[in-house]
Amino acid sequence: MAGPRVRFAPSPTGYFHVGSARSALFNWFVARHDPEGVFILRIEDTDESRNREEWVDGIVSAMAWLGLDLDEGPFRQSDNAAAHALSITKLLAGGDLYYCDCSTEELVARKGENKTPGYDGFCRERGLERGPTTAIRFKTPREGHTIVHDLIRGDVDFANNTIDDFVVAKSSGVVLYALANVTDDRNDAITQVIRGEEHLSNAPKQMLLWEALNRVSDSPVSLPSYAHLPLLVNEQRKKLSKRKDPVATESYRDQGYLSSAFVNYLALLGWSPRGDEEIVALATMIEQFRLEDVSHSPAFFDVKKMTHMNGEYIRALGVEDFVDACAPWVRPGDCAWRPRDREPPWPAAQFDEVLFTRVAPLVQERVATLGEVPAMVAFFFCEPLSYDEAAFAKTIGEDPLGQALLALGIERLADAPWDAASLHQEVVEIGEALGLNLRKAQAPIRCAVTGTLVGPPLFESLEILGKEKSLRRLREALERVSA
RNA sequence: GGUCCCAUCGUCUAGUGGCCUAGGACAUCACCCUCUCAAGGUGGAGGCACGGGUUCGAAUCCCGUUGGGACUGCCA
């Protein structure tokens, strides 16, 4: 038996929604789980207002970043207009469709007078011909039930009389989502429709359409099975909204989330690997993934948890890989891809790759996202140094002891061997001379050299920064006080 | 309003009638480690929405209630 054929069918918008990313991922899991599975990307762009070339590029590149490789596509729904028109023709001939010239105003006016949900079927038996303002509606059966066999939720029963005669083609001739989607799924021989729960109520309509199409076709196509994934919600438990919630996958990439971590986290939204370990290899997820195990209830997209996981992924990287991964944030000039609005705080010419490679291990275990890296190493490359003024005042500006320590430091460090261990010992002694423990003694030096009170280990940083530059900064800090 | 979906710590989840004194992860608190910040280690607090059944036995099955959500477009 052939493997499953699944498709991810997003409508283009300006960015790649994290919910879409999760849907794409679960479809991809199903395809990759089976050696013969096929993963298809079809962009549903029939709505003219959703048709921009760069939006399609956005989907394709976001999926490439996530590593969701395609077996077929990307296809454009708008390329299938002829097939959609053929579906209309056949269905019309089969008596499943009818023309309707009710205006929106008339519909609204009749609303309330009847109990029929949605459209009241006013034109159903009027035998209208095609005209300039006629939409085409589906003659939904008035009797019976349509049962959606959902792989995740089980059977969901819809009474046909609760489904109205929905529009399948606009008066302009454009075929709408329900039919276009079904037509394409049939032509692409899709075996499993995996999508968000917001589509659950579309499923019976599409099944009805599929069956109607089978009746008027020479070669019937078996219905696909359906799986409706739980929604991704915000803290208010509402569907993730593009206005209020940070839903753009691209922005997470910009912030420095690793695609591997992002994918792992996404997989955990509605699904979980066996055992107690949540951080698992992609191959493990592919092997263990089963739609039947997907949870039924909505999941909150928890950036905090994802950030933690990202930190773990970053720390698990080899240093070489970490350095490479940082490139778009620290030397974007050399990179094919670079994050939006995240220029390093230093001029490109002042960046030193060798030096960065030496500090990288120190930084790697301190960041949760790659976007945090530049700020952490800025003092190596920014000249002049910019200070955290509050920290400067506290440890140097308004602290005579801090100033004394710097003065003594300049004197004694000038002759010290320039390696972390020696510097550590020196500062211990300098502190002792002034009655300060190391915790207190390192603060003014740290602030003078790095501009802040937090950062990579001080003595390693001094070693890497170099004697000349370090001493100069100690002197500059002192001069700053008198100025 | 109508149709449909959902309900285990704050969050994501494990759990498919006895292994549950309900497990893990994030977040949170305490302590340890420590040159700052992290990371790491140890420990703590924290949950089966409620009410009825079924059963020797229910987080697990059934019904109801309550609560949340999606859909209800000549969008997808």
- Cα-based torsion angle of the residue sequence A82, A87, A92, A97 in order, rounded to the nearest 10 degrees: -120
Which nucleotide minimizes the distance between its C1' and the CA of A152? B5
List strand B contacts in A 325-364 (CB < 7 A): none
Is any atom of strand B within 7 angstroms of residue A101's beta carbon? yes
pLDDT of residue A127: 87
| Residues sharing a CB contact under 8 Å with residue A75, sequence separation 6 or more, in sequence order | A40, A41, A42, A43, A184, A188
pLDDT of residue A398: 92
d(CA A87, CA A285): 39
The domain over range A389-482 is classified in CATH as 1.10.10.350: yes
From residue A368, alpha-carbon distances to A65, A117, A321, A326, A423 in Å are: 19, 51, 15, 12, 29
Torsional class of A273: left (φ above 0), alpha (ψ -120 to 50), beta (otherwise): beta
Report the distance from CA of residue A262 to the C1' of nucleotide B16 in Å, as an integer.
30
d(CA A22, CA A194): 11
Domain ranges across chain A: 389-482
Report the distance from CA of residue A268 to the C1' of nucleotide B12 in Å, as an integer.
7
pLDDT of residue A483: 67
Active-site residue, selected from the candidate residues A111, A238, A242, A244: A242
List strand B contacts in A 227-256 (CB < 7 A): 230-231, 233, 236-239
Residue at minimum CA to C1' distance from nucleotide B34: A439
* Parts of chain A with a pLDDT under 50: none
List strand B contacts in A 16-75 (CB < 7 A): 44, 46-47, 50
Active site residue A139: no
pLDDT of residue A46: 82
Report the distance from CA of residue A235 to the C1' of nucleotide B7 in Å, as an integer.
16
Report the distance from CA of residue A146 to the C1' of nucleotide B25 in Å, as an integer.
40
For residue A2, with 0-12 CB atoms within 10 Å meaning exposed, 13-18 middle and 19 or more buried, which class applies?
exposed
| Residues sharing a CB contact under 8 Å with residue A381, sequence separation 6 or more, in sequence order | A344, A346, A350, A351, A352, A355
Is any atom of strand B within 7 angstroms of residue A95's beta carbon? no
Is any atom of strand B within 7 angstroms of residue A270's beta carbon? yes
pLDDT of residue A402: 94
ipTM above 0.85, yes or no: yes
Is any atom of strand B within 7 angstroms of residue A272's beta carbon? yes
Is any atom of strand B within 7 angstroms of residue A419's beta carbon? no
pLDDT of residue A377: 97
Report the distance from CA of residue A346 to the C1' of nucleotide B43 in Å, as an integer.
44
